[in-house]
Amino acid sequence: MKRLPLLLLALMAALFFLSLNWPGRWPASWAPWLQAFAEAGMVGALADWFAVVALFRHPLGIPIPHTAIIPNRKNEIGDNLARFVAEHFLHPDVVRVKLQSVNLARNAALWLKSPGGRNRVEELGVGVTRRVLGALHEARVRQFIGRLGSRRLAQFDLAPLFGRALDWLIQDGRHQDLLTQALRFALVALHDNRDLIRGNVQRESPWWLPGFIDDRIVVQMLDRLETLLLELSLDPDHALRGDFNGWLARWAGALQGSPEYRRWGEDLKQDLLANEGLQDYLYRLWQDLVDGLLADLADPASGFRGELGRLTESLATELEQDPAMQALVNRWLEELAVRAVDENRLAIASLISDTVRSWDPAETSRRIESAIGRDLQFIRVNGTLVGGLVGLIIHAVKIL
C-alpha cells in the first residue's frame, strides 16, 4: 500500500517537470494550471509523508524535534489511553445505562433453552467437573487435601461436636424419624431370621434341656420381641420412646460438658489421625467414587450430563415465563456489574498502562503502524490530491 502514495508523488513530480518543459504543440494556457496542480500536489504529498512518518520514526533518520512521537511518548500514550478507557468506557453510569437497555435475564433464558446454549452449559459443567475430579488424583493435590483435613480434624473437639449434632437431631423430633426407621429395620430383620436364631439357640443349649422346651422359649421370646418392636415403631408416644428421648438428651449434654467424654473424643481423634489403614481405606473408597464419576462423565449418555441439561432447561423456562423474576435478576446483574466495574476500573486502567509501558518502543511503533498503516497511506493519497486541488484554487484566485 505504501507504493501508491509514492507513485502519486512521482506522478506529481513528472507533471511538474512537464509543465516546465511544455510542448509547443499543446495550448500554452494549460501549463500554468498543470504546474499549480503538480506543485501543490508535491507539497501536500511531502507534508503528509512527513506527518505520517513522524508518528513512528525520525524522517530520513534526522532527529527533528517532535518526531518519532509514538516511540518517544509511548508511556504517556498508554497512560492517556488507560485514563480514557476508565473515564468513558468503565464509568459506572455508562455501564448502568448499557445494561438497562437490554433484558439480560430474558436473553440468557432464551439462550439456555436453545440447543446450542444447553449443550454449551452441559459441556462446561462436564468439563469443569472432570478437571476438578481429575485433579484430585494428583499426588500433590491428594497430599495437600490430606494435610489440610488432618489439621482441620486436629482442631475439632469431637465430643462436643457429636453432642451438638445430637441436639440438632432432637430438635423438632428428627431423631424419632431415625428411630422409627431403625425399629422397622430391626423388626424385618428379626422376622426374616427367626429360623436362623432358633437353630443357633438349639445348638448352644445344654444337652440335658429337651429341644421342644428350648424351642418354645425361643419362639415366645421372638414373638414378644416382634410385638414390642411393632408397638414401638407404630406408637410415637410409647413409654420406651420417652425413656429413649430422655437418655439421648442426657447423653447429648454429657458429650458437650463431661471431661470424661472430652478425653474420649480426644483419644478417638488421635486414633483416627494415626490410623493409616483407615486413611488408605477412605482414600480407596474416594478414588473408586471419583473413577465411577469420571467414567459416567466420559459417556455421551452421562446421567450427570442429562440431569444438568434438564435442570438448565427447567431453570430457563421458569425464568422466561416470569417477568418479575427477570426484573429482579436484571437488577442483581446490574448492581453486580456496576460494583465490579467501579471497584476494578482503576486496576484495569493500570493494567493497560503497565502493559503499554512494558512494550519495546520500536516494537510498539511497528504494532501501531501495522494496525493503522493502510489508513495512513490513504491519508497521504488524499493529501496529494487535495493539495493539487488547493493549488488549482489558488492559481484560479491569482488570475482573477
Q: How far apart are CA 63 and CA 71, in angstroms?
A: 13
Nearest to 95 by CA among 276, 345, 329, 310: 345
At residue 393, the pLDDT reads 92
Nearest to 96 by CA among 270, 348, 342, 286: 342
At residue 216, the pLDDT reads 73
At residue 208, the pLDDT reads 47
At residue 214, the pLDDT reads 54
* Sign (positive or negative) of CA dihedral 28, 33, 34, 36: positive
Q: How far apart are CA 329 and CA 99, in angstroms?
A: 12
At residue 389, the pLDDT reads 92
Q: How far apart are CA 161 and CA 265, in angstroms?
A: 9
List the pLDDT tens digit at each of the 400 positions of the chain.
668 888 888 888 998 888 888 776 677 778 889 889 989 999 998 898 888 888 888 888 888 888 888 888 888 888 888 889 888 888 888 888 888 888 989 999 999 989 888 889 988 988 888 888 777 766 666 666 666 666 666 666 777 888 888 888 887 777 888 888 888 888 888 888 877 776 666 665 554 445 545 567 777 888 888 888 888 888 888 888 888 888 888 888 888 888 888 888 787 777 776 777 766 776 777 777 778 888 888 887 888 888 888 899 898 899 889 999 989 999 999 999 999 988 888 898 899 888 888 888 888 888 887 878 778 888 888 888 899 899 989 989 988 7
Determine phi and psi for 90, rounding to 5 degrees.
-105, 15
At residue 207, the pLDDT reads 46
At residue 30, the pLDDT reads 83
The pTM score is 0.49
Q: Which residues contact 375 (CB under 8 A, 6 or more apart)?
A: none
Confirm if 69 and 55 have CB atoms less than 8 A apart: yes
Segment 226-230 long-range contacts (CB within 8 Å, at least 24 positions apart)? 226/187, 226/190, 226/191, 229/183, 229/186, 229/187, 229/190, 230/187
Please work out, in degrees rounded to the nearest 5, the angle formed at the alpha carbon of residue 49 by the alpha carbons of 38 and 66: 135
Domain extent listing, the chain: 3-67+360-399, 157-274
Q: How far apart are CA 221 and CA 57, in angstroms?
A: 106
At residue 175, the pLDDT reads 80
Q: How far apart are CA 168 and CA 174, in angstroms?
A: 8
Q: How far apart are CA 210 and CA 213, in angstroms?
A: 6
Number of CB atoms found within 10 A of residue 200's CB:
12
Record the cell numbers describing residue 104, joined without a space: 439480560
- The DSSP code sequence of 136-150 is TTSHHHHHHHHHHHH
Q: Tell me the CB-side half-sphere exposure of residue 102, using CA atoms within 13 A.
A: 9
At residue 332, the pLDDT reads 92
Confirm if 388 and 19 have CB atoms less than 8 A apart: no
CA distances from 182 to 92, 187, 232, 262 (A): 60, 9, 11, 28
- Classify burial at 152, counting beta carbons within 10 Å of its beta carbon; exposed 0-12, middle 13-18, buried 19 or more: exposed
Record the cell numbers describing residue 272, joined without a space: 483416627
Confirm if 233 and 187 have CB atoms less than 8 A apart: yes
